[in-house]
Amino acid sequence: MTVIKITRLYYDDMDSMPKNKKIMPKVALVGRPNVGKSTLLNRLTRTRDALVDSLPGLTRDLRYAELTWDGLAMQLIDTGGIDKSSNLNTISQIVHEQSLKAVEKSDLLLIILDVKEGLTLADREIVDELRSYKKPYLVVINKVDNPSLELNLSEFYELGVSEIIPVSAEHGKGTDALMRRVIDVLRHMDWPLEDSSANLEGLPLETMQDEDQPIKVALIGRPNTGKSSLFNRLVGEPRMIVTDLPGTTRDSIDTLIQRPGIKDILLTDTAGIRRKARVNDKIEKFSIIKAINVIKGCDIVLIVMDISEGITDQDKRLIGYTERYGRACITLFNKWDLLQQDQRLAKLRSRELDQAKRFIPYSPHLNISAFTGKYVKRILPLIDDVYVDFNKLINTGGVNSALQKALAKRTPPISRGHHLRLYYTTQITAKPPTFLIFANYPDLIPSQYERFLANQFREQLGLNHTPVRILFRKRERRA
């Protein structure tokens, strides 16, 4: 029996995380909820990967980022927050426990405090608890946004520390000084200097992109279509909070599915994407941005739709996002068990799906029931098949043979009085397969002919389940 080991990255079992080739120190950002840990992570990594707002407890899951500063590579962990309240709800209790687990596995702690709230009793209790772990730590006072707030720094020395580091994560003030101290501490711990690119010298691009990397799969859909229930089925145990309330999953959750002898899958469950007219609160808007960014960064998108509701305009937009960003796509009609006895409605849904996917005919489809588990086991093998096409490299001879067959089937049209000529082609990358064609007037090639070539390449080169991108460049005349 195949054993599937499930690890929620930086959330459930940090010991079983995939080991990086370059061993890196782990630096955890810890403190009460809403002191600015996620804002600081975003500032240091120059991203907006973590959702940020003034709502306490927004970061529900541990977030991870790699950072190289002054030649030293490290892993930053943004924790959800340590909460000493006695009346924690279930979610807050889980976040609290996982934050402490991150502390156990970290090499250095950045204890984040809020200058605007001052030194609270909860801060004192948290610092005392963190000291019990015997980890090196730095006390970072955040939200020092203007000089007047610097007058409030002195009270934090009551913690018995000899040094505090004031920063403004929102404005970037003090972050360079903070990172210099982080580097000093790590170097005193004998962490070596690392050149992050040292091991990549001379490797071809496709090797660098794919070596030891899992298949990145995003699970997206409208709220309440059953994404989290499907997630639980795929990973084999209930790791997510599954309710009938849309919007339970506000940030994306990464889970690694390790499969002996088969390529691993990194599965990301995103918050449900609502219709624009219904997106009223800032957190949901951030979630939409986050979900789109997840689509951009993944290999394959699983679009989950509710077959009882049919295909909505928002479902069509999600399908459109996969085409726009060149991602492979598998559509899933969930709750299939509700329609099995209604053949008329099932045929109607099939016609709706064909219409919605007319621009991505290469995308395979499954009817499933996350509730009963019916046909869910077909998803992972289908992901493997799709990924083979998405990551395929074709030799230059094969690609040019496909181009010549396409030209024989349909010659390029005359455009603005010019006879278009396509000379030769080569594949320049995978994920998705992308081909560069040299032409006499590359800017005049109509989009319809470009789609024709993409379809021909897909058919002739066995790229059945992947988008294909065609780029054109002017052939330089020989001197």
For the ranges 45-54, 204-213, 357-366, the lowest mean pLDDT is seen at: 204-213
Name which residue leads in pLDDT, 429 or 55.
429
**Are 25 and 108 within 8 A, CB to CB?**
yes
CATH class of 19-188: alpha beta
- Give the residue from 110, 104, 101, 119 showing the smallest Cα distance to 74: 110
Give the pLDDT confidence score for residue 23 in this predicted structure: 61
pTM of the model: 0.57
Number of neighbours of residue 281 by Cβ within 10 angstroms: 11
Tokens representing 70 are 């002054």
Tokens representing 252 are 């994306």
Per CATH, 214-389 and 396-474 having the same topology is answered: no
Name which residue leads in pLDDT, 390 or 287.
390
Tokens representing 66 are 């790699």
- Answer whether residue 209 shows pLDDT above 80: no
- Answer whether residue 8 shows pLDDT above 80: no
- Give the residue from 105, 55, 101 showing the smallest Cα distance to 251: 55
Name which residue leads in pLDDT, 95 or 16.
95
Give the pLDDT confidence score for residue 67 in this predicted structure: 78
- Answer whether residue 277 shows pLDDT above 90: no
Domain coordinates in residue numbering, the chain? 19-188, 214-389, 396-474
| β-sheet with 72-78: strand ranges across | 63-69, 72-78, 26-30, 108-114, 137-142, 165-166
- pLDDT interval class at 53 (50, 70, 90): very low
Q: What are phi and psi of 419, to 5 degrees?
A: -80, 115
Could you read off the pLDDT of 445-470 as tens digits, one per residue? 999 999 999 999 999 999 999 999 99
Give the pLDDT confidence score for residue 240 in this predicted structure: 39
Give the pLDDT confidence score for residue 34 in this predicted structure: 86
- pLDDT interval class at 33 (50, 70, 90): confident
Mean pLDDT of the chain: 79
- Give the residue from 371, 352, 324, 321 showing the smallest Cα distance to 221: 321
Residue 286 burial by CB count (10 A; 0-12/13-18/19+): exposed, middle or buried?
Answer: buried
- Answer whether residue 431 shows pLDDT above 60: yes
Give the pLDDT confidence score for residue 348 in this predicted structure: 86
Q: Evaluate whether the domain defined by 396-474 bears CATH number 2.40.420.20.
A: no
Cα distance between residue 261 and residue 351, in whole Å: 39
Q: Quick one: angle between helices 447-460 and 396-409, nearest 10?
A: 120
- State mean pLDDT over 166-181: 91
Cα distance between residue 174 and residue 153, in whole Å: 14
- 365: β partners: 331
Q: Evaluate whether the domain defined by 214-389 bears CATH number 3.40.50.300.
A: yes
**Are 470 and 457 within 8 A, CB to CB?**
yes
Give the pLDDT confidence score for residue 417 in this predicted structure: 82
Tokens representing 459 are 């058919």
Give the pLDDT confidence score for residue 365 in this predicted structure: 95
Residues sharing a CB contact under 8 Å with residue 55, sequence separation 6 or more, in sequence order: 34, 283
- pLDDT interval class at 1 (50, 70, 90): very low
- 425: β partners: 437
Percent of the chain past pLDDT 90, that is, above it, reads 38
Number of neighbours of residue 420 by Cβ within 10 angstroms: 19
